[in-house]
Structure 1
Amino acid sequence: MDLNRASAKDILDSLSNRQLSAVELMRATLDRIAEVNGPLNAIVALREEGALMEEARAADAALTRGSLHGLPIAVKDLVHVAGIASTQGSPLFKDHVPQTDDLLAARLRAAGAILIGKTNTPEFGLGSHTFNPVYGATRNPYDTAKSCGGSSGGAAVALATGMLSLADGSDMMGSLRNPAAWNNVYGFRPTWGRVPSEPAGDSYLHQLSTLGPMARSPEDIGLLLDVMSGPDPRMPLSTEVVAVSPVQTADLTGMRIGWLGDWGGAFPHEPGILELCRDALRVFEGNGARVETLEPPFDADLIWDSWITLRSWSVATGLEPLARDKAVLKDTAQWELERGLSFSAMGVHRASVIRSDWHRRAAEIFADYDALVLPAAQVWPFEIETPYPTKIEEQGMDTYHRWMQVVTPVSLLGLPCLGAPAGFGANGLPMGLQLFGPRGSDAKILSMGAAYHAETHWPQKRPAM
């Protein structure tokens, strides 16, 4: 078994029956990181080798073995991990080493994972391009002159190149889906509330961002999702869940899938993206599903206006304690902070009314369709020196994130969404699609993704580096 390319399921099965030792796996992991991470810069704050090997030996000697026992995982650098520098990509926190784990890190440890370091992210996770003043930029393994996306860019690159077999990410505005698309792997945004956020600050008002898993198959996605999921008594909106693993391969016969394309022209795309994603849907059609092109179900401008209000309001609540250090923040963080602090309560309320209207309309659509599909990004991976695209074709982008507007219909409602590889363009770069359903349909979306993966195996057919 090639430990750098094997599925997480196969690795964990071999660890469980002791055909593979945690020491052997850790050695292979560290060797692979040493081999490929240098020019890519996906893994940061890597722990000292001796300590990691000692922890692997302890895992081999342990009697109690959790579902991730002995598996090396690097955690996204927005999550606090005890004993590991947790910077959020900001110079304000470049020397911050937490003494306790965030909830996600604690759940990974409880499942037996060995936390080896961090995966790189943009400063405060803002922007779908992974670069920051602490660690620098993470490069796309399919073309190192290009962006890997973000904000879970380091995680996606680590998966694509075999440095990790599972990785966590987070998603507010496509931060799982965009890097999955640009690195030929899978990223899953779960139903909001399935994976609880950190029990700190407000626990009721901000329902946009969520943690989620990334992997090289939907089956492996399910393994990590079950570890991440489940209520926390300190989080009132976290939900009881049913395990999704083992992910079952869906029988697609008779299923109806709605293709939303460019939302009636509201979402401009660079050439080749729409065609590639629509072609990928032929896999579903070939397995008995009916794919229908739909008219725009809701006004895209209303969704956008609601989204950027609620997003800036939410982001500003996190950045507000840093307002006195605003000059140190990158320009996009300053923009979000200033906007969020300017809103009235009634302005936020009106944005949430639009969200509620879109939710009611989406419920009507899902009464007739098993899932809907959009591209996962509107542009191909761009030059790494470019902070963000300012136009798509000849259409100017009026914000730093307008070029990712295609993810907002899902994000605004907290819907479960699988970011899946769609293949490669004529430029040799990967792209992906979003397969999403109503709240609570996580298992069904993953099972549909498993049927698609069984026919395509894109991460295995075109592995990076």
Structure 2
Amino acid sequence: MSACEVVDLLNGGEVTPLDCLDALVVRIAAVENVVNALPILCLDRARDRARRLLQQPLGRRGRLAGLPVPIKDLTDVSDVRSTYGSTIFADHVPEQSDILVERLEAEGGVVYAKSNTPEFGAGGNTFNDVFGTTLNPWNTDLSAAGSSGGAAVALATGMAWVAQGSDLGGSLRNPASFCGVVGLRPSPGRVPRSARFKIDDLLSVNGPMARNVEDTALLLDAMTGDSPADPLSLPRTESFLAAARSGWRPARVAFSADLGITPVDPEVASICRAAAASLAAIGTHVEEAHPDLSEAHDTFSVLRGMAFAISYGALLEPYRDKMKPEVVWNIEKGLSYSMADIVKAENNRAAIYRRMHAFFETYDLLLCPATIVAAYPASDRYVKECAGYTFPNYFEWLAIAYAISLTASPALSLPCGFTKDGRPVGLQIVGRTRAEGQVLAAARALELLLDLHPPTPIDPRPPRHV
């Protein structure tokens, strides 16, 4: 069932939150040992929360009404082991939840698990030294991407109806694309969160994931709203589920296979171009265009490095030997940047933002691939080469996602097709800042047009060479 269908049953008293948890326990027992998506379970805590909800009248149990939700292992849940994918925090149990978790629980979400993530969310492949590697259920020889890989796999295999994730340089969109589910990176401030490090962080956001667009909108509704604990948080102004169902259609959209900044696998580009072109069937004018994002690589590299230095720099000296080399490198890069480097990066980001804002005076949406490749072998730490180009570091292969992060635009990865060997491909749908409603409505329209009906949830499929 979809999450919306389950919530309707919960609101009608036809099933209880405990019934939902029981169903998940059975499914987790059947598939988790194959894919390693939900390494931390907190079922006793979840059942206690579910029983408390049952004491409330029907219709007054929040937007989720008792629907179970897994939380990514970068986000604190009170009294539940929260490792951030790091051996440094392998036994860490926070006393207080992140305000996002508190918001979800206030809306009737029942937290039952933590989903796997790479160490500190670094990299587009979900593996760490605490729990190991999360595998792609479409082909368990392949990567689930990252850093919300555990969340995407839990959805694709039926161990979750909806899931929380986070995104700095594509961490919601990349695993959604690789696993054939939906992931939405909202505008900064749309989803409140606790200020652990940089209180005015515009790059990293939390967002919803699900198996279809309406379920994604449902979870976004439960996540949103302002909070004095987050100075960037925005007030709740609309129902995103209603927006997804509104029937709004874009009049004019732009498609770009590469945003002018990155190589792209030709088969992925072809699948995404065909999906974008299908919008013509509902009267949308589709043409090839993109804003100038030429400074994206240097700008993101500096701002990402600064974020790592701020967040994890204090761990470098005492715990260097416990962190993966990519994290050490990223912290050191961040610490090496000068004030002049940071000033240039911030100025360039402002210019990129202005260009994107102007771009949306002509186009309603920008469409492009969510990732430049389909799923690659899980044994590879990252994508090192594409279309004859060798990447200089472990994250540049994510440029088609992180360039959009710089613009503060909402962006959604929608399943749009499969490669000849059966790997899912995601189309990235980008809107103007704070226009999540339009992004969701367009994604729902395209979902209906493509009529893929991807067979999720699926049982994990055995390894096969691609």
Contact 1:27 1:53 in 2 (8 A): no
The secondary structure found in structure 2 opposite 1:151 is coil
1:322 deviates by 0.5
1:247 deviates by 3.2
Does 2:434 correspond to 1:433?
no
- Spell out, residue by residue over 1:115-156, the C-alpha distance to the aligned partner (whole angstroms, 9 max, x if none): 112000001000011000000000000000000111000000
1:284 deviates by 1.3
The secondary structure found in structure 2 opposite 1:181 is helix
- Spell out, residue by residue over 1:155-179, the C-alpha distance to the aligned partner (whole angstroms, 9 max, x if none): 0011111111110000000000000
**Cross-structure match for 2:203:** 208
Contact 1:218 1:247 in 2 (8 A): no
The secondary structure found in structure 2 opposite 1:419 is strand
Match of 1:275 among 270, 275, 279: 270
1:394 deviates by 2.0
**Cross-structure match for 2:373:** 379
1:403 deviates by 1.0
Give, as a single letter, the amino acid of the residue that structure 2 aligns with 1:258: A
In structure 1, C-alpha distance between the alignment counterparts of 2:296 and 2:368, rounded to whole Å:
15
1:427 deviates by 1.4
The secondary structure found in structure 1 opposite 2:22 is helix
In structure 2, C-alpha distance between the alignment counterparts of 1:365 and 1:289, rounded to whole Å:
17
1:251 deviates by 4.5
**Cross-structure match for 1:122:** 118
1:257-336 maps to which residues of 2 (within 5 A)?
A: 257-264=253-260, 266-294=261-289, 296-300=290-294, 302-324=295-317, 325-336=319-330
Deviates more, 1:396-405 or 1:17-26: 17-26
Match of 1:391 among 381, 385, 389: 385
Give, as a single letter, the amino acid of the residue that structure 2 aligns with 1:373: L
**Cross-structure match for 1:227:** 222
In structure 1, C-alpha distance between the alignment counterparts of 2:50 and 2:230, rounded to whole Å:
33
Match of 2:189 among 187, 193, 197: 193
**Cross-structure match for 2:446:** 452
**Cross-structure match for 1:3:** none
The secondary structure found in structure 1 opposite 2:412 is strand
Does 2:34 correspond to 1:39?
yes
- Spell out, residue by residue over 1:259-311, the C-alpha distance to the aligned partner (whole angstroms, 9 max, x if none): 011234x31122300000011113311111111011x53142x1111111011
The secondary structure found in structure 2 opposite 1:75 is strand
Deviates more, 1:150-159 or 1:251-260: 251-260
**Given the two structures, how large is their TM-score scaled by the length of structure 2?**
0.94
Match of 2:233 among 238, 262, 270: 238
The secondary structure found in structure 2 opposite 1:182 is helix
In structure 2, C-alpha distance between the alignment counterparts of 1:86 and 1:378, rounded to whole Å:
31
Contact 1:26 1:72 in 2 (8 A): yes
**Cross-structure match for 2:462:** none
Give, as a single letter, the amino acid of the residue that structure 1 aligns with 2:85: G
- Spell out, residue by residue over 1:69-101, the C-alpha distance to the aligned partner (whole angstroms, 9 max, x if none): 221111100011011110000000010111111
- Spell out, residue by residue over 1:328-358, the C-alpha distance to the aligned partner (whole angstroms, 9 max, x if none): 1111101110011112222111101111111
In structure 2, C-alpha distance between the alignment counterparts of 1:52 and 1:414, rounded to whole Å:
34
Specify whether residues 328 and 169 from structure 1 end up closer, same or farther in structure 2 by C-alpha distance, changes over 3 A only: same
In structure 2, C-alpha distance between the alignment counterparts of 1:292 and 1:103, rounded to whole Å:
41
Contact 2:63 2:221 in 1 (8 A): no
**Cross-structure match for 2:463:** none
What is the aligned-residue identity percentage?
36
In structure 1, C-alpha distance between the alignment counterparts of 2:120 and 2:45, rounded to whole Å:
29
1:51-62 maps to which residues of 2 (within 5 A)?
A: 52-62=46-56
In structure 2, C-alpha distance between the alignment counterparts of 1:445 and 1:165, rounded to whole Å:
21
Give, as a single letter, the amino acid of the residue that structure 2 aligns with 1:319: Y
Contact 2:45 2:112 in 1 (8 A): no
Task: Name structure 1 gaps, 5 residues minimum.
Answer: 1-5
Give, as a single letter, the amino acid of the residue that structure 1 aligns with 2:12: N
1:377 deviates by 0.7
Match of 2:87 among 54, 78, 91: 91
Give, as a single letter, the amino acid of the residue that structure 1 aligns with 2:296: I
In structure 2, C-alpha distance between the alignment counterparts of 1:166 and 1:145, rounded to whole Å:
25
1:33 deviates by 0.8
In structure 1, C-alpha distance between the alignment counterparts of 2:47 and 2:219, rounded to whole Å:
23
Does 2:252 correspond to 1:256?
yes
**Given the two structures, how large is their TM-score scaled by the length of structure 1?**
0.94
1:250 deviates by 5.3
1:408 deviates by 2.2
Does 2:400 correspond to 1:406?
yes
Does 2:135 correspond to 1:144?
no
Deviates more, 1:170-179 or 1:231-240: 231-240
- Spell out, residue by residue over 1:225-244, the C-alpha distance to the aligned partner (whole angstroms, 9 max, x if none): 12211221132222223122
Task: Name structure 2 gaps, 5 residues minimum.
Answer: 460-466
1:20 deviates by 1.3
Deviates more, 1:52-61 or 1:347-356: 52-61
**Cross-structure match for 2:335:** 341
Contact 2:272 2:427 in 1 (8 A): yes
Deviates more, 1:158-167 or 1:18-27: 18-27
Q: Which runs of 4+ in 1 moved over 4 A?
A: 50-55, 250-254, 459-463
Specify whether residues 207 and 57 from structure 1 end up closer, same or farther in structure 2 by C-alpha distance, changes over 3 A only: closer
Does 2:330 correspond to 1:362?
no
In structure 2, C-alpha distance between the alignment counterparts of 1:293 and 1:136, rounded to whole Å:
41
Contact 1:256 1:370 in 2 (8 A): yes
Specify whether residues 163 and 140 from structure 1 end up closer, same or farther in structure 2 by C-alpha distance, changes over 3 A only: same
How many residue pairs match? The answer is 455
- Spell out, residue by residue over 1:407-437, the C-alpha distance to the aligned partner (whole angstroms, 9 max, x if none): 1221012211111111100011001011011
Contact 2:67 2:109 in 1 (8 A): yes
Deviates more, 1:367-376 or 1:321-330: 321-330
Contact 2:275 2:450 in 1 (8 A): no
Give, as a single letter, the amino acid of the residue that structure 1 aligns with 2:103: R
Deviates more, 1:193-202 or 1:267-276: 193-202
In structure 2, C-alpha distance between the alignment counterparts of 1:459 and 1:133, rounded to whole Å:
36
